[in-house]
Chain A
Amino acid sequence: MVAAALTGSLCGLSGLLITRLGLTTICFTIAHAALAGATLGLVLSIEPIAVALVFAIVIAALLSVLMTMLRVPVDLISMSFFSLYTALALLFIYLTPGTAMATQVLSTVLWGSVLAMTYEYITYIAILLIAYITYLVLYMDRVLMVLFDLKLAEAEGLDTRSVLMTLLLLSSFVISVSLKLTGGFLVFTIFYGPALATLNLNVRSVRKMLATSPLIGAMCSIAGVIVSYVLDLPVGCCIVLSMCTVVAATSLRRLIEVVRKAAPMITRFR
């Protein structure tokens, strides 16, 4: 449950920043690169998360350089790499020794498992969370500047490339460590769900958003673990379902709010 809370808050925080920066597809690609790395780790009998981390960091660095140098749409580059890494992941699964879909380790990488959460692993996640928060506290003004307007920040002499690169590298770490809990195919919901729920809640301050999103991520992850334990279901799926429930509820709330605001206008129009 501690691992779920830490991973959920990390994903919530990272997902919000990435969404605000408009780098959603880049992180989508990083997640698939991490998955390809993890499956390669299985083929080579090396720690999957370590290989996933290397893949994620390399692709994050490569994409951030291409993004600034080539000046072509980020989404196009990202999606090209996404296909490549999905193909690699499937290829490595095919090459995994033994009955691939049945192996315990492979199912951990694909769907996530609470059993994979050792004390040592939880310590790594906690260190990552502390490092992430420390970076944000130290460089909050620069991060906020980039979040508000990237071009203006660059025009005012800020090294926007280093801020973007750091956030992408931190996201690579977050995605890689999340693989064991949620699995490679389900990490996106826990990554972007809290950001969407936060936007739906109409939080009117960036600092409050930065607190709300990790909180939603942590709460949904804990809820998912409890449901998984009670009903004896895969933990990754339960976390994602609990996250989707919260997203659906907040979306409904926002929809009602929008309709209520629009109602007087419709009446007047008639």
Chain B
Amino acid sequence: MSYSMFSMFKVPPIALNREYAVELCNVSTTYFGSRTPAIRNVNLRIRYGEFILITGPNGAGKTTLLETILGLLTPSSGTVKVFGHDVSKRAKLIRRYCSYVPQDFMKEPYEVFTVYEVIKQGLVTCHYRPKDVDKEIREVSKLLGIEDLLTRPIGSLSGGQQQRVFIARALIRRPYLLLLDEPFSNLDRDSRTELAEVLSKLCTDSGTTIVMVSHDLSTIPRACTRVVSMINGSIVSISEVK
């Protein structure tokens, strides 16, 4: 199944910088009440349609970097641009063209939202044709192997299944920029390989820019072009993937 099936959505009406998807210039982010910045003087340019992997030990600032790119965290210094737009000024608009899969996604067992409802919610801030929603949800859930879980409450699912649901929700938005925070953390080896292939296809076929955070380098998607290593909030190396 090709990912071009999501082309039914309207093209978004903002001018996108087609050269660089993300531009970070001397970015430092400090959490409220903390003296030490979680990320410091980060300079990084991610090309449009590039697949980049950010790696590093716990506390390296990987999640902070993702949340700073989305404008969920305000940098204490430096500028963040997504598709050429300053995130500090147009965060809400930019986020509509991005998808984010957080690390801390697990829902309590009593959570009653069904998988279908959770995936559908991903479309609320997108342009879409209501009559095609059901078909789209079924296709994306099939792609991630969760088509049998659509009527189940998300709280009743395992960690790995919930992770797939959140990835499905991110994919159905047909994002221009996809930010994934440890998407493989709860998946078994086969599922990781499958997901890596889905993401690679999304990047190569649809030109989606993907920024994936992972501390596990055992599964690097084939479309991944660069690996960024972070330690103590700073980028220590950027290596090309052959």
Q: Across the interface, do A148 and B70 meet the contact criterion of CB distance under 8 Å? A: no
Report the separation of the CA atoms of residues A155 and B96 in the bound assembly, to the nearest whole angstrom. Answer: 8
8 Å CB contacts to B: which residues of A171-209?
199, 203-206, 209
Secondary structure dominating the interface of A: helix
Report the separation of the CA atoms of residues A108 and B98 in the bound assembly, to the nearest whole angstrom. Answer: 53
Q: Across the interface, do B72 and A156 meet the contact criterion of CB distance under 8 Å? A: no
Report the separation of the CA atoms of residues A155 and B100 in the bound assembly, to the nearest whole angstrom. Answer: 7
A264 in the interface, Cβ–Cβ < 8 Å? no
Task: Assess A148 versus B121: contact at CB under 8 Å? Given A156-B99, A206-B112, A206-B113.
Answer: yes
Q: Across the interface, do B112 and A142 meet the contact criterion of CB distance under 8 Å? A: no
Contacts of A204 in B (CB 8 A): 112, 153
- B110 to A, closest residue via Cβ: A199
Q: Across the interface, do A158 and B125 meet the contact criterion of CB distance under 8 Å? A: yes
Shortest distance from the beta carbon of B2 to any chain A beta carbon, whole Å? 24
Shortest distance from the beta carbon of A244 to any chain B beta carbon, whole Å? 22
Partner of B95, one of A71, A72, A156, A199: A156
Type the 1/0 row for B49-90, where 1 means its CB is closer than 8 Å to any CB of A. Answer: 000000000000000000000101000000000000000000
8 Å CB contacts to A: which residues of B88-139?
92-96, 98-100, 102, 110-114, 117-118, 121-122, 124-125
B174 in the interface, Cβ–Cβ < 8 Å? no
Report the separation of the CA atoms of residues A203 and B95 in the bound assembly, to the nearest whole angstrom. Answer: 33
Q: Which of A72, A142, A154 has the most CB of B within 10 A?
A: A154
Type the 1/0 row for A48-71, where 1 means its CB is closer than 8 Å to any CB of B. Answer: 000000000000000000000001
Contacts of B166 in A (CB 8 A): 152
Q: Across the interface, do B121 and A155 meet the contact criterion of CB distance under 8 Å? A: no
Report the separation of the CA atoms of residues A153 and B145 in the bound assembly, to the nearest whole angstrom. Answer: 24
Report the separation of the CA atoms of residues A184 and B84 in the bound assembly, to the nearest whole angstrom. Answer: 53
A120 in the interface, Cβ–Cβ < 8 Å? no
Report the separation of the CA atoms of residues A209 and B117 in the bound assembly, to the nearest whole angstrom. Answer: 15
B173 in the interface, Cβ–Cβ < 8 Å? yes
Q: Across the interface, do B112 and A145 meet the contact criterion of CB distance under 8 Å? A: no
Q: Across the interface, do B118 and A148 meet the contact criterion of CB distance under 8 Å? A: yes
Contacts of B92 in A (CB 8 A): 157-159
Report the separation of the CA atoms of residues A203 and B153 in the bound assembly, to the nearest whole angstrom. Answer: 11
Contacts of A157 in B (CB 8 A): 92-96, 98, 125
8 Å CB contacts to B: which residues of A84-120?
none
Type the 1/0 row for A196-234, where 1 means its CB is closer than 8 Å to any CB of B. Answer: 000100011110010000000000000000000000000
Partner of B124, one of A72, A158, A199: A158
Shortest distance from the beta carbon of A77 to any chain B beta carbon, whole Å? 14
A144 in the interface, Cβ–Cβ < 8 Å? yes
Contacts of B122 in A (CB 8 A): 156
Report the separation of the CA atoms of residues A157 and B70 in the bound assembly, to the nearest whole angstrom. Answer: 9
Partner of B100, one of A141, A156, A159: A156
A151 in the interface, Cβ–Cβ < 8 Å? yes
Contacts of B110 in A (CB 8 A): 199
Shortest distance from the beta carbon of B47 to any chain A beta carbon, whole Å? 23
Contacts of A156 in B (CB 8 A): 95-96, 98-100, 122, 124-125, 173
Contacts of A206 in B (CB 8 A): 112-113, 117
Contacts of B118 in A (CB 8 A): 148
Q: Across the interface, do A155 and B72 meet the contact criterion of CB distance under 8 Å? A: yes
| Residues in A lying within 8 Å of B, measured CB to CB | 71-72, 141-142, 144-145, 148, 151-159, 199, 203-206, 209
Q: List 12 A-B contacts (CB under 8 A).
A: A144-B117, A144-B121, A145-B121, A152-B100, A155-B102, A156-B96, A156-B98, A205-B112, A205-B114, A206-B112, A206-B117, A209-B112
What are the 7 A-B residue pairs with the smallest beta carbon separation, nearest first?
A157-B95, A157-B96, A155-B100, A157-B125, A71-B32, A141-B124, A145-B121
